[in-house]
């Protein structure tokens, strides 16, 4: 017998707010989360704008209502968490609360945690004192001093702040969750892959419930420079119009940050506790395509994922309510993504609306795909689809049918993500109608 898997809880930290209600309100009213950067110096960046999760300060109140012991445990451990890990832990706690899940009433051996993340970069300040101790009289760094004078000045537990498996580990430890636990680090593809693995873990009977989360950032003293060197960052004077997926005038991505978590439950387990069901997960896919020199082929990877999502969900292209595209706002990659979507949908490409929430908040790194999946689940639940906010003139090389204001979200959605290396991932969800 097939085990059906449903979404029953949402936790969010995003540039559009830290709840499902705040996210949907911003999307429904076409409100951008892009503004002038406040958390990092922007003088060396090609833009002074980004999408910061300004409502998250890592104060204990940002983790939702907590019992006294849980509050104390999280507070004590915040000092060994970088911002991405803090956000990742917070969204799990917010998700548990949103789902109305009483942990003492369930079998914790059957509830697991699966998270996606980027590689987590150390803040330069972690090594400042140690590096200073190794500067010689000529003002040059002397590496021979590092072992005796540099390393001892580094905080002994600094590495614990940046291990990408720790969001899932902290969540499991804080909540005494003893089910399957795993962490995936595949850049922007991580969100959908984490949801997919959690979905299949329940489907194959290894758990009854899974917290599937992701956390990421492109706003960081070092990471933002990495992005600038490796990828195109949008330039312009109007922050709300910088991220322009599929628009003929797009010129690069907007950097952002965030985290998200959903509670997945086996249907009968969710119904037994009277859970409110948000949507059903019905398919997943993953594909990486590159040539022998490692040059990515995003068009083929995206087409593969859309086809696999259709096949695993037993859907025809015409039955897709909408596509939630990666929609990075990159000149080359948007074109290839659009062409991959069109190739997979065939004759239905002119009829299936395509949206992209990155037009509201840019690239949230590993967290973007899950925030976007939640946005589409809310659209299915509400019946209406948010448009690509900044799309004015569709690039003729992007053969998609862009979502417009007033479009129906339909009954199903395929959510897509893809990395610069050609790793694509997708999740198919269906509107819940009992």
What DSSP string runs through 154-195?
S-TTGGGGS-TTHHHHHHHHHHT--S-EEEE--GGGHHHHHH
Q: How far apart are CA 246 and CA 297, in angstroms?
A: 18
CA 150 to chain centre: 36
DSSP states of 375-410 as a string? HHHHHHHHSB----TT-SSB-TT---EE--TT-B--
Q: How far is the C-alpha of 339 from the C-alpha of 345, rounded, in Å?
A: 10
Residue 45 reports pLDDT greater than 90: no
Tell me 215's DSSP state: E
The DSSP code sequence of 203-215 is HTTS-SEEEEEEE
d(CA 158, CA 180): 27
Q: Rounded mean pLDDT of 272-295?
A: 96
Confidence of residue 230 (pLDDT cuts 50, 70, 90): confident
Per-residue pLDDT band for 43 (boundaries 50, 70, 90) equals confident
List all residues 6 or more positions away from 333 whose beta carbon is below 8 Å from its beta carbon: 298, 326, 418, 420
The pLDDT value given to residue 41? 85
Residue 245 has pLDDT above 80, yes or no: yes
Pick the CATH number of 5-121+162-431 from 3.30.420.40, 2.20.25.240, 3.30.428.10, 3.40.47.10: 3.40.47.10
Average pLDDT over residues 237-245: 96
Of 151-155, 241-245, 333-337, 387-391, least confident by mean pLDDT is 151-155
Segments of the chain assigned to CATH 3.40.47.10: 5-121+162-431
Residue 60 structure tokens: 């204990």
Q: Round to whole Å and give the CA distance between 169 and 397.
A: 44
189 is written with which tokens?
A: 């593809």
Question: What does the pLDDT average to over 358-374?
Answer: 97
> Is the pLDDT confidence value at 156 over 90?
no
pLDDT at 223: 77
pLDDT digits (tens, 9 = 90+) for 90-113: 999 999 999 999 999 999 999 999
Predicted confidence (pLDDT) per residue in 411-434, tens digit: 999 999 999 999 999 999 999 987
Distance CA 132, CA 127 (A): 9
Beta-ladder partners of 303:
none
With cut-offs at 50, 70 and 90, classify the pLDDT of residue 284: very high
- Is pLDDT at 197 greater than 90 in this prediction? yes
Q: What pLDDT shows up at residue 109?
A: 98
Q: Which element (helix H / strand E) includes 199?
A: helix 190-203
User: pTM, whole model, 2 decimals?
Assistant: 0.96
**3-class SS letters over 281-321:** EEEEEEEECECCCCCECHHHHHHHHHHHHHHHHCCCHHHCC
pLDDT of residue 51: 97
What pLDDT score does 220 carry?
Answer: 84
Does 227 have pLDDT greater than 80? no
**Beta carbons within 8 Å of 355's beta carbon, 6+ residues apart:** 322, 323, 324, 325, 327, 376, 379, 385, 386, 387, 388, 402, 403
The per-residue pLDDT for 121 is 85
Backbone dihedral angles phi then psi of residue 286, each to the nearest 5 degrees: -155, 140
Residue with tokens 């709300």: 240
Length of the chain: 434
Give the number of other CB atoms < 10 A from CB of residue 139.
Answer: 6
């Amino acid at each position: 017998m097939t085990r059906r898997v449903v979404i029953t809880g949402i936790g969010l930290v995003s540039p559009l707010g830290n709840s499902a209600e705040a996210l949907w309100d911003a999307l429904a009213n076409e409100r951008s989360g892009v503004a002038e950067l406040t958390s990092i110096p922007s003088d060396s960046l090609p833009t002074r704008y980004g999408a910061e999760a300004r409502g998250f300060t890592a104060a204990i109140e940002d983790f939702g209502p907590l019992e006294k012991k849980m509050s104390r445990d999280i507070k004590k451990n915040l000092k060994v968490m970088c911002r991405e890990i803090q956000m990742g832990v917070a969204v799990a706690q917010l998700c548990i609360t949103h789902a109305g899940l009483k942990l003492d009433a369930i079998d914790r051996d059957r509830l697991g945690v699966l998270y996606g993340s980027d590689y987590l970069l150390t803040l330069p300040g972690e090594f400042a004192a140690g590096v200073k101790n190794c500067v010689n009289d000529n003002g040059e760094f002397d590496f021979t001093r590092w072992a005796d004078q540099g390393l001892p000045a580094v905080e002994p537990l600094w590495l614990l702040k940046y291990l990408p498996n720790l969001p899932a580990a902290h969540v499991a430890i804080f909540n005494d969750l003893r089910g399957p636990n795993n962490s995936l680090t595949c850049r922007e593809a991580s969100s959908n892959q984490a949801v997919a693995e959690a979905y299949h873990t329940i489907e194959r009977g290894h758990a009854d419930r899974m917290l599937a989360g992701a956390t990421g950032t492109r706003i960081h003293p070092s990471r933002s420079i990495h992005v600038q060197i490796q990828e195109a960052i949008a330039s312009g004077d109007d922050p709300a119009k910088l991220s322009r997926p599929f628009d003929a005038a797009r010129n690069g991505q907007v950097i952002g940050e965030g985290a998200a978590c959903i509670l997945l439950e086996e249907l009968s387990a969710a119904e037994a506790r009277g859970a409110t069901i948000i949507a059903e997960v019905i398919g997943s896919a993953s594909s990486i395509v590159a040539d022998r020199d490692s040059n990515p082929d995003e068009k083929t990877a995206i087409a593969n994922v859309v086809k696999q999502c259709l096949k695993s969900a037993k859907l025809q292209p015409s039955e897709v309510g909408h596509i939630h595209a990666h929609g990075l706002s990159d000149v080359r990659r948007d074109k290839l993504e659009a062409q991959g979507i069109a190739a997979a949908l065939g004759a239905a490409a002119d009829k299936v609306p395509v949206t992209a929430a990155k037009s509201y908040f840019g690239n949230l790194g590993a967290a973007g795909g899950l925030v976007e999946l939640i946005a589409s689940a809310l659209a299915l639940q509400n019946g209406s689809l948010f448009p690509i906010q900044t799309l004015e003139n569709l690039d003729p090389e992007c053969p998609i049918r862009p979502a417009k204001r007033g479009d129906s979200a339909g009954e199903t959605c395929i959510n897509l993500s893809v990395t610069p290396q050609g790793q694509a991932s997708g999740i198919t969800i269906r509107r819940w109608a009992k």
